[in-house]
């Protein structure tokens, strides 16, 4: 149940992944007065504008871009240990109860972020002070093109009331010409997941861990 006490952390390899894959869910959290933190590998020039729009929907949202603010050079040129340590620090600082991470696909940045998230979100027997994130969900992008297995979501977020706001957010990124940067395309994808979950529009996730 989403409430004003909820704390959602979204890991997004690129700015716009968060909007395309879980923008409606983020808005739903904000509509409930919750706190949201988005951690990106790479930025886009529209990022400040996008988050100004997110803030109009309530709650409290902040973001951090790793490549601009914290590391000099390409993500893939950094040591795995340094990346995990950075993620550990951000998780322990924000203390989310729910994390959304990218489902691994053909893109190396998504693959790397997924791997780091699995390491940083693991249950630590050795470090009792490490923050434990109760709920961890994967979200697919690009319909996981190139993966041998089929993405089978088992958790759906009803975004019927948030779909138009999600499209507003995506349209701010639309200047890059992405095939999904179209209201009809976004509604079609959300409708597809809505049919599977008994609502008009939904976003889909796969549960890695869920505590009830």
Q: Which of 78, 135, 85, 137 is nearest to 109 (CA)?
A: 78
Q: Greater confidence, 136 or 152? A: 136
Determine the length of the chain: 212
Strand partners, 137: 100, 207
Which H/E stretch holds residue 197?
A: helix 183-197
Q: What are the structure tokens assigned to 136, written together?
A: 């961890």
pLDDT digits (tens, 9 = 90+) for 50-92: 999 999 999 999 999 987 655 544 566 678 888 999 999 999 9
Taking residue 84's Cβ as centre, other Cβ atoms within 10 Å add up to 16
Q: Which of 4, 11, 3 is nearest to 133 (CA)?
A: 11
pLDDT digits (tens, 9 = 90+) for 12-24: 998 889 999 999 9
Distance between first and last Cα of the chain:
10
Which H/E stretch holds residue 196?
A: helix 183-197
27 exposed, middle or buried (CB, 10 Å; 0-12, 13-18, 19+)? Answer: buried
Q: How large is the angle between the packed helices 17-31 and 47-55, nearest 10 degrees?
A: 20
pLDDT digits (tens, 9 = 90+) for 140-183: 765 555 555 667 899 999 999 999 999 999 988 876 566 566 78
Which H/E stretch holds residue 136?
A: strand 135-139
- Does this model's pTM top 0.85? yes
pLDDT of res. 149: 61
pLDDT of res. 181: 62
List alpha helices for 61-151, DSSP H: 66-69, 80-94, 108-120
């Amino acid at each position: 149940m989403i409430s004003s006490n909820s704390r959602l952390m979204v890991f997004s390899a690129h700015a716009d992944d968060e909007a395309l894959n879980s923008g409606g869910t983020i808005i739903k959290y904000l509509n409930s007065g919750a706190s949201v933190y988005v951690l990106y590998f790479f930025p886009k020039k529209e990022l400040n504008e996008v988050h100004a729009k997110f803030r109009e929907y309530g709650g409290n949202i902040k973001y951090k871009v790793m490549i601009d603010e914290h590391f000099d050079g390409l993500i893939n040129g950094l040591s795995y240990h340094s990346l995990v340590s950075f993620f550990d620090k951000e998780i322990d600082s924000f203390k989310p109860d729910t994390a959304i991470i990218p489902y691994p696909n053909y893109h190396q940045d998504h693959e790397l972020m997924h791997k780091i998230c699995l390491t940083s979100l693991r249950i630590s027997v050795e470090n009792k002070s490490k923050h434990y994130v109760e709920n961890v969900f994967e979200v697919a992008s690009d319909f996981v093109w190139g993966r041998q297995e089929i993405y089978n979501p088992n958790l759906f977020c009803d975004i019927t009331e948030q779909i138009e706001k999600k499209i507003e957010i995506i349209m701010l990124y639309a200047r890059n010409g992405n095939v999904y940067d179209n209201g009809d395309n976004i509604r079609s994808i959300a409708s597809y997941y809505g049919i599977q979950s008994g609502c008009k529009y939904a976003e889909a996730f796969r549960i890695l861990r869920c505590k009830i």
